[in-house]
Amino acid sequence: MKKTVLKIYIFTFIVAFFNVILLDRLYNRNINEVDFINIESPMEADKIAEFSITDKSIDEIKDYCMKNNLDFIKFFTSYMICNNYEVDSVSYDYNEEYYKDSDYAKSVESIYRAILSDIEYFPIPNSTNETSRNYWYCNSWKSERTYGGNRKHYGTDIMDSKNERGYFPIISMTDGYVEKIGWLELGGWRVGIRAEHGGYFYYAHLEKYADNLKQGKKIKAGDIIGYMGNSGYGEEGTYGKFDVHLHLGIALTVKDREDEFWINPYWILQYIEDTKVKVDY
């Protein structure tokens, strides 16, 4: 009997020991950091953050790279740099060289790779039961906000056309893991998911979370993480200070900077809007 009890204690200790190791690895993962050494000026960084390229242009560049067996992100980086980070339409001669190692910055490539490599789905799924419910969004990057003091809006708001809290499920756009979860005064109930290449996808103002969502949980693209709401702008549990919407932010961790580098999600959302999962709601 004593030997049996001793074996149980030893087994319990071993399980607990390895759980501690696994949890330590889970919460202390290495995050891909963007190196800004080669980005020449704050103005250049601002242009990169604007992500000013139409969804049609992204599609055309990606299609060209697939047909010519080129690395899409590397070519995309070269093209953006050659066009001063602003592209309304693809108008270059395809015979022109945009794909030289000497002509693009590794740091800029790492930004685009972190943003574009992991995104699979639009954050609002299609419904299996209803097709008439609408949402809308616009390019509100750096719009003025006043709650808590004058500040800029670093994200895109996707609005529920009927302003109904808890109707739209919100899915993860990427694989990754839950890096942050809980209440923020500005963001309300929010979830931050860290994707494989280092991008941080921030979903805010949720009505509630999906069941069993917790810090460190592994997430697959298309998993429901919560429901659209209007939480925030007050103490924990505050609702109704603004219309129902999802605030989507995309950020990167930058070396030698305390704050994160936010990217305009608007054209990215346009680019992936036709890529949706179906959910029963």
Report the candidate in 91, 57, 50 with the shortest Cα–Cα distance to residue 76: 57
Could you tell me if 230 and 182 lie in one domain? yes
157 and 86 assigned to the same domain: no
| One domain for residues 109 and 224 | no
Within 32-76, strands assigned E span: 33-34, 52-53
Does one domain contain both 193 and 69?
A: no
In this structure, is residue 110 part of a structural domain? yes
Residue 45's pLDDT is what? 86
Q: In terms of domains, do 181 and 273 share one?
A: yes
Number of domains in the chain: 2
In a domain, 246, yes or no: yes
Please tell me the predicted confidence (pLDDT) of residue 132.
Answer: 67
SS3 assignment, position 27: helix
Among residues 116, 147, 176, which one ends one of the domains?
A: 116
Q: Considering the domain boundaries, does residue 14 fall inside one?
A: no
CA distances from 76 to 57, 63, 110, 252 (A): 10, 11, 11, 18
Q: Is residue 213 part of a domain?
A: yes
81 plus 176 within the same structural domain: no
Q: Do 142 and 251 lie in a common domain? A: yes
The secondary structure of residue 77, as a DSSP letter, is H
Q: Indicate whether 29 belongs to any domain.
A: no
Considering the domain architecture, whether residues 252 and 154 belong to the same structural domain is answered as yes
Supply the DSSP symbol for 60.
H
Q: Are residues 160 and 254 in the same domain?
A: yes
Distance CA 32, CA 37 (A): 15
Boundary residue ending a domain (116, 150, 167): 116
> Does residue 203 lie within any of the structural domains?
yes
Contact yes or no for 29/195 (Cβ under 8 A): no
Q: Is residue 178 part of a domain?
A: yes
Q: What are phi and psi of 42, to 5 degrees?
A: -60, -35
Domain boundary among 116, 142, 168: 116
**10-residue mean pLDDT series, the chain (281 residues):** 50 43 45 62 87 94 91 90 88 66 71 92 92 88 89 95 96 97 97 94 98 96 98 96 98 77 96 94 90
CATH number of the domain that residue 223 is part of: 2.70.70.10
In terms of domains, do 159 and 271 share one? yes
Do 102 and 133 belong together in one domain? no
Pair 112, 130 in one domain: no
The pLDDT value recorded for residue 53 is: 95
How many beta carbons lie within 10 A of that of residue 41, not counting itself?
A: 8
Owning domain of residue 80: 44-116
CB 193 within 8 A of CB 221: no
Q: Flag whether 2 is in a domain.
A: no
